[in-house]
C-alpha cells in the first residue's frame, strides 16, 4: 500500500517529511503567543498598569492566562472534531479563527476600557483558534510516522517552542513603528491567515493501516499498543492518570520557572544586561533560549521512540530538578559574577528544554499507550494537564514575590515538584495492564 500513495508527487515515505515541514511552519505562527512578553510590556504602558507591583503583573498576564485556558479547554472537542472533518478543514477553520482573534484584538488594544475586549479577542478567540489548529499537524505527524512518532511530533511542535526566536523580534520591530501594539497585531494576524490557510491546504491523514514499506512494528517498550482505547476507557486506567499528573507537573514546574525569568533578571545576583536599542535584556534572553524550547521537543521525542515515554519523562524531571537546584545556588551569590550569569543561563535553558520536551512526549505517549485509532480525541483529554499547569503557573509567577518573599525561593517547590514527577514517572507511568485492556 505504501508505494501506491503519493505526497507532493513523491513516494509517501519521502513526501511525508514535507508535512512535517508544513507542521513546523504552522506552529511557528501558533507559537507567536509566546511573544506575549513583548506585547504585554507595551500593553502595560498603554493600559497604565504598574509592573512594579504583583497586581500590575497579574493584570498584564490575564490575556495570556485566558489564552492558555481556552487553548487547553477546546482540546477535547478539537480532538474529536479532527476525526470527523480531518486536518485540512479543521486547520482552515482554526486558522481563520486565530487570525480573527489577532486582527480583532488590534482594534481594541488601546485604552484601559477595552481590556475586557482584548481578553475576549486575544485570549478567548485566539485561544480557541490555536487549540483547533495545534492538534491537527501533531496527529498528521503521528499517523504518517508510525515508525518515528516521537521524532516527527517533536520536529512538528518545535516550531511552537521556537516561534519566539522569530516573533519576538518581528513583534518588537512592528511595535517600534508607532509605539503601539495595535499595528503589530493587525499585520501579524493578516500574515497568519495567509500562512495557515496555505499550509493546512496540504494536510491530510494516510489511508487506514498505512505504514512505510518494509517497516514492521517491534515489540519494544516504545511500541504502539495494539489495543485502541477510546476516550471513556482511558480515564478508567491508572496509566492515564499518572501520565496526566506527570504532564501537569512538567508543565507547571517549567512554566512557573519561565514565568519569573524576567523578574530574576532584575535581581542583583544576576544583573545581566545586554546593550541594545531594539530589545530589552529579558527579550534578548528569551530570543536566545527559544531554540532550547524548540530543540527539546525533537530530542526528547526521539528518546520517546527509542526508550519509551517513561524514560523521556524521567529525563525532563532531571533537567527541571537540576535547573531548580542551580537557581537555589544562584540565590546564595552575593554579587553578580560571570559564573552566576552562566549558571542562570544554563538553568533556564534546561527549564525550556524540559518543558518543550513534554509537548513531544505527551502526544507520543498517548498514541503508544492507548493506540493510534483514537489518539486525536484521547490527546485532547491529556492536554488539559498543560492547561491546568499553565493557569496555576500564570498566577504563581505574577505573585511570586508576595508568595515566597524572594523570587528565587520559588525554585524550592519547583525542585520538590520535579522529584515528585520523577518518582511518578519511574514507578507508575507504564502501559495499561492487560486486565485494563479495551476491545480493539
- 272 and 406 housed in the same domain: yes
What is the pLDDT at residue 280?
53
- Domain membership of residue 394 (yes or no) is yes
The owner of cell 537555589 is 328
Q: Is-contact 389 362, C-beta < 8 A?
A: no
Q: Is-contact 418 253, C-beta < 8 A?
A: yes
- 46 and 133 housed in the same domain: yes
- 168 and 234 housed in the same domain: no
Reference 252, options 85, 394, 389; nearest CA is 389
What is the pLDDT at residue 122?
92
- 230 and 201 housed in the same domain: no
- Domain membership of residue 58 (yes or no) is yes
Which helix (H) or strand (E) element contains residue 10?
strand 10-11
CA 283 from centre of chain: 18
- 307 and 379 housed in the same domain: yes
pLDDT digits (tens, 9 = 90+) for 88-106: 999 999 999 999 999 999 8
207-214 mean pLDDT: 80
Distance CA 417, CA 427 (A): 16
How many residues comprise the chain? 440
SS3 340: helix
pLDDT digits (tens, 9 = 90+) for 133-169: 999 999 999 899 988 888 998 999 888 887 877 877 7
Q: Which domain range does residue 358 map to?
A: 225-440
pLDDT digits (tens, 9 = 90+) for 286-303: 666 777 878 888 999 899
pLDDT at residue 75 tops 50: yes
Q: Which CATH number do you get for residue 244?
A: 1.20.1250.20
- 266 and 323 housed in the same domain: yes
Which helix (H) or strand (E) element contains residue 11?
strand 10-11
Distance CA 126, CA 193 (A): 12
Which of 199, 216, 233 is the last residue in one of the domains? 216
Predicted TM-score (pTM) of the model is 0.82
- Domain membership of residue 409 (yes or no) is yes
- Domain membership of residue 5 (yes or no) is no
- 30 and 89 housed in the same domain: yes
Which of 166, 194, 216 is the last residue in one of the domains? 216
- 209 and 231 housed in the same domain: no
- Domain membership of residue 6 (yes or no) is no
Which of 216, 250, 283 is the last residue in one of the domains? 216
Bridge-partner residues for 7, per DSSP? 10
- 208 and 275 housed in the same domain: no
- Domain membership of residue 65 (yes or no) is yes
Bridge-partner residues for 10, per DSSP? 7
- 231 and 201 housed in the same domain: no
Reference 294, options 31, 65, 69; nearest CA is 31
- Domain membership of residue 191 (yes or no) is yes
- 198 and 248 housed in the same domain: no
- 239 and 163 housed in the same domain: no
- Give me the number of domains the chain comprises: 2
- Domain membership of residue 120 (yes or no) is yes
Amino acid at each position: 500500500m505504501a508505494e501506491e500513495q503519493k505526497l507532493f508527487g513523491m513516494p509517501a515515505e519521502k513526501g511525508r517529511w514535507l508535512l512535517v515541514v508544513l507542521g513546523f511552519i504552522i506552529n511557528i505562527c501558533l507559537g507567536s503567543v509566546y511573544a506575549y512578553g513583548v506585547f504585554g510590556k507595551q500593553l502595560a504602558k498603554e493600559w497604565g498598569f504598574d509592573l512594579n507591583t504583583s497586581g500590575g503583573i497579574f493584570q498584564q498576564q490575564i490575556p495570556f492566562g485566558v489564552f492558555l485556558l481556552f487553548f487547553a479547554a477546546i482540546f477535547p472537542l478539537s480532538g474529536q472534531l479532527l476525526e470527523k472533518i480531518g486536518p485540512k478543514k479543521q486547520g482552515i477553520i482554526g486558522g481563520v479563527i486565530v487570525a480573527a482573534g489577532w486582527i480583532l484584538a488590534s482594534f481594541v488594544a488601546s485604552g484601559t476600557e477595552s481590556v475586557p475586549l482584548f481578553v475576549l479577542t486575544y485570549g478567548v478567540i485566539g485561544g480557541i483558534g490555536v487549540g483547533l489548529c495545534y492538534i491537527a499537524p501533531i496527529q498528521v505527524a503521528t499517523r504518517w510516522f508510525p515508525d518515528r512518532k516521537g521524532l516527527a511530533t517533536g520536529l512538528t511542535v518545535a516550531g511552537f517552542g521556537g516561534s519566539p526566536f522569530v516573533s519576538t523580534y518581528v513583534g518588537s520591530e512592528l511595535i517600534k513603528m508607532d509605539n503601539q501594539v495595535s499595528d503589530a497585531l493587525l499585520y501579524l494576524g493578516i500574515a497568519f491567515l495567509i500562512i495557515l490557510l496555505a499550509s493546512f491546504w496540504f494536510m491530510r491523514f494516510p489511508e487506514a493501516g498505512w505504514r512505510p514499506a518494509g517497516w514492521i512494528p517491534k515489540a519494544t517498550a516504545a511500541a504502539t499498543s495494539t489495543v485502541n482505547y477510546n476516550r471513556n476507557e482511558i480515564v478508567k486506567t491508572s496509566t492515564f492518570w499518572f501520565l496526566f499528573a506527570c504532564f501537569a507537573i512538567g508543565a507547571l514546574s517549567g512554566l512557573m520557572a519561565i514565568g519569573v525569568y524576567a523578574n530574576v533578571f532584575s535581581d542583583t545576583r544576576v544583573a545581566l544586561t545586554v546593550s541594545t536599542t531594539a530589545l530589552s535584556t529579558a527579550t534578548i534572553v528569551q530570543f536566545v533560549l527559544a531554540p532550547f524550547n524548540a530543540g527539546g521537543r525533537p530530542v526528547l521525542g526521539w528518546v520517546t521512540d527509542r526508550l519509551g515515554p517513561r524514560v523521556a519523562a524521567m529525563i525532563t524531571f532531571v533537567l527541571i530538578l537540576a535547573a531548580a537546584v542551580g537557581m537555589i545556588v544562584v540565590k546564595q551569590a552575593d554579587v553578580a559574577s560571570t559564573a552566576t550569569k552562566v549558571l542562570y543561563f544554563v538553568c533556564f535553558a534546561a527549564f525550556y528544554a524540559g518543558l518543550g520536551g513534554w509537548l513531544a512526549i505527551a502526544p507520543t505517549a498517548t498514541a503508544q499507550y492507548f493506540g493510534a485509532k483514537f489518539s486525536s480525541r484521547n490527546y485532547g483529554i491529556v492536554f488539559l494537564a498543560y492547561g491546568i499547569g499553565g493557569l496555576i503557573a500564570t498566577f504563581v509567577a505574577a505573585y511570586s514575590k508576595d508568595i515566597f518573599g524572594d523570587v528565587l525561593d520559588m525554585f524550592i517547590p519547583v525542585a520538590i515538584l520535579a522529584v515528585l514527577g520523577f518518582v511518578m514517572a519511574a514507578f507508575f507511568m507504564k502501559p495499561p495492564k492487560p486486565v485494563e485492556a479495551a476491545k480493539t
